[in-house]
Chains A and B, each alone.
Chain A
């Protein structure tokens, strides 16, 4: 009796171990596959495997060992660190719902994210940063199955003019940017208080009077890109389907007039005596159907 149960136990153990071994192999191989991911920026090629120790040295405290944004310090940080496992990124040059390009991620690491705890990592070498991009990608299996989206076209920037700024302001009213960002662009629109991100955490709309920088860069073309592609994961939608490139530039110029620093646009607005928009003062009269 005793020997029989021992034998049975042994057989069971062998089966269990074999199964575990095979399973381990399998998960390892998918991890292996992801660790073979590369990132390409310019002439540089980053490798996830090389990025791993760099990530562990610099990034792990906030983004966590699993890349899920649950680092040991995440609980103290607001806004929360990005969760890489969903591969949902705010700063993209690609359409909403698609993966960003390697260059997008590389630029984010080098730029940092304004109004957050994320600093710029320019002190690291370019190669370190491109290796980090590859390792950040490895956290989501999406990068194995999907290609990065095709970057939206950004036409050449026109000269800001009084007319363009006026059109931009009309668009700000018409596209209802003010619903969240407020009639003066102070981030206090009627919907501002109820906004949540994709993980249901409260989030504030951008206050244009607050900062010279934007989340995804300071240049006009980056601002253009922000609302054309949307900031995925946040309430900020993509407008590329409904805003013509020329109109988008007009909106950029208008938004510049709201910012604290002196700019050409701001001077034009001063000359025009531009007043804030009316917002909801005149609810649309027409009733569909």
Chain B
């Protein structure tokens, strides 16, 4: 199975490992991520204004490219996923945005939200299946107690993201079980890490991540996993906090392709 793939700016720079472990794992699981040609940065945050058009066009380009290849579009970074999924919803359901975006783009075939956007975790759950994943694990991470950190962007607004139950998600816990480890459910796993506030207001961001870290370690987690480079960065600012890993690193480790991924 081949998917169109949108890596995003940070996966080409500070979060190369998030990308490399995902590609190697995809290969081991029997699907291919075909990177979109000439993709552009999603902007990191979804433009909320109903009159914002230009800031949505990079997402529309990626979406239309996947549509033209007849492929579903896979994302990995939580922020890219959030932005592209919401722009796709606009293109499908908001006449004014669809018309004006298409006027800018002048595509051969106007785009109207035809592409299905999947986060890499959704590919694991809905296309591969966690039971199948479990069968392909050669190096189960037995005994590891792992706290899933969801953050905001994958879950909310749930009406559009349709990712999981926004108040009591379980996709990452199911993933943790599939790779042979033990999930630790803790109260702050879907609370905000501070996001972009950490650029100018480090103290405010620090108070938020300290609370999340204390919540996870208090419930017995030994490490946290995330899909988002910014969540990882923010959570790492807590002094003596739990280590924060990308979920794809543990996936590659369980599938026995960790070394090869970074070669």
Are chains A and B native binding partners rather than an unrelated pairing?
no
